[in-house]
């Protein structure tokens, strides 16, 4: 398969390295494309093989020429979220299939363009929901599907972002909803997709609330950061700020962003306490699904630790799943959890609670990435996927609709009915 990658920021590396290092005999990267010439050249150097002429590179304005000249079979889209739809549609129109980093897109108008073009062209798209492939999350799917706790009736799902990972969304392009859809789309698409997949149903109603409670100018004052600069680089109070991002001391950040600033003026280290930030850091949603299941969902982006807590209530008992990814941030260093930080407890009515053995695997995201990449780039070499983990445009659409509806609910203060929302925009997704 001939592959072109659009977007050469940090996320493209997973796809690039997998093709070059794990599946070079099956696939070839024929082109790279990015809006930033420096970042594009750095990616080309990383992917080029000794004894070859390297990989063709194209600036974003030349994407259509890339398609015409290199004729890729598949386009990998790893650009900022608001650009996904543009490249997906142009790839479909050119006869290419697509592999897209989540989320599929960020709003209803772009979603309609994608589903309409897919229906007309018949091209295929895979949305990379790596969380589905984690052995621990797959175990949850198996427990629910097998009826271990009977019919699932309600779910409580809490996701905690710590003050390193969480803060990062407030210093770069994600900080404006027109770029990312906010965290309820950009980040929560993973979590809402898990719920859709675990429960085997789709959301129909959402009532949500959200606000920016922590990453505000007032909090900077409370933390003694008066006189702060517009960005970490050169900030007069950086030495006493726990949120200082030292890009010059991180080789990857320096190469990808600090050294690339002259090309497009994009700053990767804007102040997390800026007034202009347009996304929330504290969000809650109550979700009702077509099956009748209800879920309460919470996301905070300034937690003292990082991870997730989920409880499934069923007619025969309950499952409690907890994953501590980072114990906390101490002295500026993240204390990452060990392998035993994932627990799943099964509590059946009339029986004593049992701590289940949680399966583990090596690799990023709890061992999920290597499995997902195997199914993407070498499906014949993988065992049949009895868990249905592959995600197309339909799964991608349903994963963002909860977040889009939640954003609308926050804005209006009203319950949002998703089928009505789709009908009003003429969007037909499918099951």
Average pLDDT over every residue of 69-96: 98
Using the predicted structure, report yes or no on whether residue 337 has a pLDDT greater than 80: no
Residue 83, token pair as written in the block: 């650009």
Could you tell me where the DSSP H helices lie in 122-276? 135-145, 165-168, 177-180, 183-186, 188-199, 217-222, 251-253, 261-264
End-to-end CA distance of the chain: 29
Using the predicted structure, report yes or no on whether residue 68 has a pLDDT greater than 90: yes
Residue with tokens 């920021």: 9
Of 319-328, 359-368, 404-413, minimum mean pLDDT range: 359-368
Q: Which residues in 271-316 belong to E strands, given as ranges?
A: 282-289, 294-303, 306-314
Using the predicted structure, report yes or no on whether residue 53 has a pLDDT greater than 70: no
Residue 373, token pair as written in the block: 């990449």
DSSP tag of 399: H
Q: Specify the pLDDT at position 52.
A: 57
Q: Specify the pLDDT at position 227.
A: 95
Tens digits of per-residue pLDDT, 219-254? 999 999 999 999 999 999 999 999 999 999 999 999
Confidence grade of residue 332 (pLDDT, cut at 50, 70, 90): low
Q: Rounded to the nearest 5°, which phi and psi values hold at 168? A: -60, -30
Q: Specify the pLDDT at position 158.
A: 98
| Alpha carbon distance 367, 365 (integer Å) | 6
> Comparing C-alpha atoms, which of 108, 83, 190 is closest to residue 98?
83
Share of the chain above pLDDT 70, in %: 98
Domains in the chain, please, with CATH? 2-129 (3.40.50.720), 131-214+277-360+391-424 (3.30.360.10), 220-264 (no CATH)
Say which residues have a Cβ less than 8 Å from residue 375's Cβ, sequence separation at least 6: 133, 382, 385, 389, 390
Confidence grade of residue 10 (pLDDT, cut at 50, 70, 90): confident
Q: Specify the pLDDT at position 329.
A: 77
Q: Specify the pLDDT at position 47.
A: 87
* Distances, alpha carbon 67 to alpha carbons 28, 47, 93, 382, in Å: 15, 19, 11, 30
Q: Specify the pLDDT at position 363.
A: 73
Using the predicted structure, report yes or no on whether residue 49 has a pLDDT greater than 80: no
Average pLDDT over every residue of 160-167: 95
| Alpha carbon distance 16, 11 (integer Å) | 9
For residue 181, count other CB atoms closer than 10 A to its CB. Answer: 26
Tens digits of per-residue pLDDT, 117-162? 999 999 999 999 999 999 999 999 999 999 999 999 999 999 999 9
Using the predicted structure, report yes or no on whether residue 48 has a pLDDT greater than 70: yes
Answer whether 239's CB lies under 8 Å from 248's CB: no
Using the predicted structure, report yes or no on whether residue 370 has a pLDDT greater than 70: yes
Using the predicted structure, report yes or no on whether residue 167 has a pLDDT greater than 80: yes
Q: What is the mean pLDDT of the chain?
A: 95
DSSP string, 369-395: HHHHHHHHH-GGGS---TT-----HHH
Reduce the DSSP state of residue 58 to 3 states and report it: strand
Q: Specify the pLDDT at position 431.
A: 64
For 11, counting Cβ atoms within 10 Å of its Cβ (0-12 exposed, 13-18 middle, 19+ buried), the class is middle
Buried b / exposed e along 193-222 (16+ C-beta atoms within 10 A): bbbbbbbebbbbbbbbebeeebbbbebbee
In this prediction the pTM is 0.95
């Amino acid at each position: 398969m001939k592959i072109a990658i659009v977007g050469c920021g940090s996320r493209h590396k997973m796809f690039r390295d997998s093709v070059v290092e794990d599946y070079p005999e099956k696939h070839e990267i024929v082109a790279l494309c990015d809006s930033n010439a420096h970042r594009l050249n750095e990616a080309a150097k990383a992917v080029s093989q000794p004894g070859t002429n390297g990989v063709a590179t194209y600036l974003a304005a030349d994407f259509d020429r890339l398609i015409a000249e290199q004729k890729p079979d598949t386009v990998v889209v790893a650009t900022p979220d608001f650009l996904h739809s543009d490249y997906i549609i142009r790839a479909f129109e050119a006869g290419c299939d697509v592999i897209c980093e989540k989320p599929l897109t960020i709003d209803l108008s772009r979603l309609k363009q994608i589903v309409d073009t897919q229906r007309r062209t018949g091209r295929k798209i895979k949305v990379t929901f790596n969380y589905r492939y984690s052995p621990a999350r797959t175990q949850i799917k198996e427990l629910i599907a097998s009826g271990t706790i009977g019919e699932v009736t309600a779910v409580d799902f809490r996701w905690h972002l710590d003050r390193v990972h969480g803060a990062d969304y407030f210093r770069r392009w994600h900080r404006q909803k027109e770029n990312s859809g906010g965290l309820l789309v950009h980040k929560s698409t993973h979590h809402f997709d898990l719920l859709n997949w675990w429960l085997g149903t789709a959301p129909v109603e959402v009532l949500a609330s959200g606000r920016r409670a922590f990453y505000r100018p007032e909090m900077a004052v409370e933390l003694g950061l008066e006189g702060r600069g517009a960005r970490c680089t050169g900030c007069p109070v950086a030495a006493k700020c726990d949120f200082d991002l030292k890009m010059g001391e991180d080789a990857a950040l320096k190469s990808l962003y600090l050294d690339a600033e002259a090309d497009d003026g994009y700053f990767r280290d804007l102040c997390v306490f800026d007034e202009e930030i347009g996304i929330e850091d504290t969000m809650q949603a109550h979700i009702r699904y077509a099956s009748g299941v209800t879920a309460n969902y919470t996301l905070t982006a300034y937690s003292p630790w990082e991870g997730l807590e989920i409880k499934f209530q069923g007619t025969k008992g309950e499952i409690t799943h907890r994953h501590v990814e980072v114990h906390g941030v101490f002295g500026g260093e993240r204390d990452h959890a060990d392998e035993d930080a994932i627990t799943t407890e099964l509590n059946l009515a009339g029986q004593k609670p049992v701590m289940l053995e949680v399966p583990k695997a090596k690799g990023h995201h709890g061992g999920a990435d290597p499995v997902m990449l195997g199914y993407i780039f070498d499906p014949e070499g993988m065992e049949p996927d009895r868990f249905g983990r592959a995600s197309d445009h339909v799964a991608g659409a349903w994963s963002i609709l909860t977040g889009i509806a939640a954003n609308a609910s926050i804005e209006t203060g009203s319950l949002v009915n998703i089928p009505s929302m789709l009908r009003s925009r003429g969007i037909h997704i499918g099951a």
